[in-house]
Structures are given as C-alpha cells and as structure tokens.
Homo-oligomer: A and B are copies of this chain.
Amino acid sequence: MDLTITLDRHSSLPLHQQVYEELRRAILTRRLLPGQKVPSTRALADTLQVSRATITQSYDRLLSEGYLETLVGSGTYVCVQLPDDLLHSTPVAVATNSQPLRVQLSDYGDRLGQTLFALQPSPMQPISFRYGQPALQHFPIALWRKLLSRYCLANSDWLDYGTDFQGYRPLRQAIANYLGRARAVRCHPDQLILTNGTQQALDLVMRLLINPGDRIGIEDPGYLSARRIFHSHGAGIVPIPVDEAGVIVEKLAHLDANSLRLVYVTPSHQFPTGSILSLSRRLELLAWAQQHPCLILEDDYDSEYRYQDRPIPALQGLDQNHSVIYIGTFSKVLFPSLRIGYLVVPPDLVSLFAQAKWLSDRQLPTLEQQVLTEFIEAGHLESHIRKMRSHYDQLRQTLVQALKQHFRERVMIFGEKAGIHVMVKLRTCWSDTEVIERAANVGVGLMSAQLHYFNPCDRGEFIFGYGDLDEAQIVEGIDCLAQVLGT
C-alpha cells in the first residue's frame, strides 16, 4: 500500500506530530478506511525517510486516541470503531447539483445542463415486455470465454495500442464480408470505422456533420435515444411521418428543399412501429438524397431478425452515389456490454471519421476485437443469429397469437415481420398510464410508445419487447393483461 504523506522539514512542528496529523486526517477523510492495515513503522520510516522512532511516536498517539489498533502478530489497523465524534463529520463532499456552477460551460455543456435526463427506468415487474432486450441467456458464453482465454495467451501484442485509426483491420474485413453476404452492403473494409456501439457512431456523425441549428429529418415516431444525441448537438429536428411501409418519403418533397443536412432512418424495422421500409420507398429516398446536399443515416438495427418475408437490401447497398452512412452494432445480436458497433461511410469521409474516432478515445479494446473477428470468421455469428431467429420467431408467434386470442378486434399489431418487439395498439377505456398501472398491479411491465412521438399523447400504443421472455411468460403475461384490462 502506498500512502502519500507530506512532511515539511522546515516546519516548526516536529516530524512525529506532522506524521500524526497526516495519518489522522487520512483516517478522518476516509482515505484510510476502518479495518484497513497501515504500513509497519519500519516500512513507513523507509518511505518517508525519517527515523523509525518518529513513526513509533506518531503511531503510539494514534493508538492511544483510538484511531489505530494493533492485532498481535498481524500488524496495525485503522480502528473499525472510530471515536464517536469522528463519525459525525462528513469530510468528503458528495455529488449534488444544488450548488450553482462556478465555471462557465461550453454551448454543448449548456445544452446538456438544460436537458439532463435520467436513465429511463425499465419496468421491473415479474413479466416485463421490455424492448431492446435480447435473450442473453442464450448467448454462447462458454464459447466466448474459450476464445477470450485463447487470445489472451496467444501472445501479448494485444496489450499495446492498436496501430489503426479505424479499428482492428481483420475485424473490419470480417464485418465487411458479413455485411456483403447478409445485408447486401457494399463496402471495402477501409470504409469501416469501428465504434463503441451505435451511440458513439451517432455521436461521431453529429460532431462531424452537424452545427447547432442544422436540421435533421427523423421518423415520427422515432428512436428517442437518437433524438437525444441530435438535441445535445443543437440540431433542429424535423419529424417525418411513418406508415406501414416505413417513413413516408414523399413528405420530404414538401420540405424546404435544401434545409436538411441528414435524414435518420431505421429501415429494417422502424422504431418503434416495426414497419419495414419498402423497396420502392428505399429507391425513392435515395433518388431524393441524390438531388439534395443531404446524407441518409441508415441505422440498420434489428436487421438480423426477419420472419416470413425475404430480406430487403440495405439502403447502403442500393445507393449509387455515396449518399448513405450506415450504422450497425453487435449489441443486440451478441450482447450490449461488448460495446462494438461500426460505421460504413462514403470514401471521401473515411479519414475524417477515423481521425474523429481516434481523437475521441483512440480505439476499442483489442482483445475483444480479436475475439469477435474469430467469432465471425468461424461462422459462430451467423450460426447464433440463425438459432436466435428461430427462437424469437417462436416467441413472436406465441405473443401475436395470445394477443389476438384475448383481445380480438380490440388489438392491432404492427411490425411483427422483423425484430424482437412489436408495436401493439390496444383499445381500452383507460389512459396509457392507467393501462401501465393496471398491468403493473398484476406483475406485468409495459412500455408506452408515447415518448418516441414528437407529440406524446394517449394513443393506446405500447411496445411489446419479447426478446428476454420465454413462451410461458408471454402466455401468462398476456393472460394477466387481458384479465385486468377487462376482456
């Protein structure tokens, strides 16, 4: 243990008194914790370059005053029971927001300060239909551990900084191959920038392309977390309505032609409605983008899980004009705390994005990049996705069936062809809040779709995530719900 103590040899205070004061203060401010072992007198004397007698004298006083105690044959410790008066002091400031700030913030800081939000609490009922929750219990954790162990000892190169602004090259190659096969994304590995998930990808796009006041088109309803990032950068948000074929592209034509800098879309499984952007709308959107100084920001979340229909190629793969920035992540298909996502950017923007990533935080942890590379190249990723697709498909069918059976003509279900949630419109005599409360009372957690609308109001729309539930829970949950909502 290192203990930093400042002694002043020119002070009028004797050294043993200074050591006493410093140790006492360390205990008072809990730099030394109750029960913690302190250095031996010999060790501390060596460290401080003073005589052992000096330290012994200081320790004796602390022992007699009840700050330290000696356990025979073991050493000297901070007393577990400190003198009463000490316990009343709260020497360390605890974080609080009550004081006025003494420093001036940047404009970015000011905006954040005006819109501080808490993590949206997930429902914590025994059966909670939470969105964005993959079935983590099915993640092949033992396999992941085996790969971690193997790469950990393969060599020690991974300990050092990477040599690549854009991320580990073999991983970029593996992702580019995978995207080509599975999503019809056409990209060279050198167009890929690896990021800490979708969140950092969105943030980098904002930093490089958006000044405060610039306008971004986003789907209404649309993904709240994305909107928060856009807001934090001072962007003006232009809502574009959504129907069962995805974002209504023709609405773009009614906007001031050149006023948008970006259009943010979730074509594979629109959030939260779940609609899939049709091929004709995709082509229409790309044609529009070609005629305007505006990029399409394609967040291809949930693209891995499609049921029934044939997959539709990503906008990025249909694009002929470098109008698309594509964002993907492994948070949902593997696990969220992995923190690996990626951007596919037009060639002329690559070096800027690479530099911005490097300036932000240099790189991702190397070991995880190596493990993920092997995971993809050995076919584990696609095998896991296949397995999970059939698992989720089963859950989805169970959910849809249960909802229809119990609610019949009083339920409408949207977005069931893809993803791991559906949007459900329930006709009841209660407000959205009342529905959520009644459900909670019988142990069922629901989330309203309201927050994701620009104009939040009661629509009777709820996001039913089913990823981390099992069939029995789904059946029981909908059963309880039906009872309490009076069907």
Contacts and interface: CB of A to CB of B under 8 A. Distances in A.
Interface of A: 1-7, 26, 29-33, 47-49, 91-97, 99-109, 112-113, 116-117, 119, 133, 136-137, 139, 141-142, 144-145, 148-149, 152-153, 156, 158-163, 165, 177, 180-184, 186-188, 190-191, 195-197, 199-200, 203, 206-211, 214, 228-229, 232, 261, 279, 293-295, 310-313, 317, 322, 335-339, 347-352, 355-356, 359-368, 382, 385
Given A101-B349, A103-B294, A136-B156, 4 more contacts: A31-B181, A103-B349, A145-B153, A199-B359
21 contacts: A4-B183, A4-B312, A6-B310, A91-B186, A92-B186, A97-B351, A99-B348, A103-B295, A105-B208, A105-B209, A136-B156, A136-B159, A145-B149, A148-B149, A159-B335, A159-B337, A162-B337, A203-B360, A337-B366, A337-B367, A339-B363
A30 B185 CA distance: 11
Nearest to A208: B109
A260 to B, nearest CB: 12
Q: Which of A49, A93, A96, A232: most chain B CB closer than 10 A?
A: A93
A356 to B, nearest CB: 6
A365 B348 contact: no
A93 to B, nearest CB: 5
Contacts of A97: 348, 350-351
A351 B232 CA distance: 15
Contacts of A139: 156, 159
A365 B145 CA distance: 15
A195 B195 CA distance: 14
Q: Which of A186, A228, A359, A382: most chain B CB closer than 10 A?
A: A359
B347 A95 contact: yes
A145 B208 CA distance: 38
Contacts of A295: 103
A311 B4 contact: yes
Nearest to A338: B365
Contacts of A3: 181-182
Given A116-B355, A351-B95, A293 B335 contact: no
B337 A109 contact: no
A2 B181 contact: yes
Nearest to A179: B31
A350 B95 contact: yes
Contact of A310 (B5, B109, B187, B211): B5
Contacts of A95: 188, 190-191, 347, 350-351
Nearest to A139: B159
A348 to B, nearest CB: 5
A108 B186 contact: no
B33 A177 contact: yes
B165 A48 contact: no
Contact of A361 (B112, B195, B351): B195
A366 to B, nearest CB: 4
A382 B6 CA distance: 20
B103 A293 contact: yes
A188 B93 contact: yes
Contacts of A362: 196-197, 199-200, 339
A339 B364 CA distance: 7
Contacts of A337: 158-162, 363, 365-367
B112 A136 contact: no
Contact of A26 (B148, B180, B338): B180
A197 B361 contact: yes
B350 A108 contact: no
Given A95-B350, A149-B149, A365-B337, A141 B161 contact: no
Q: Which of A30, A100, A161, A322: most chain B CB closer than 10 A?
A: A161
A127 B394 CA distance: 61
A200 B334 CA distance: 25
B359 A229 contact: yes
B152 A148 contact: yes
A212 to B, nearest CB: 9
Contacts of A317: 4
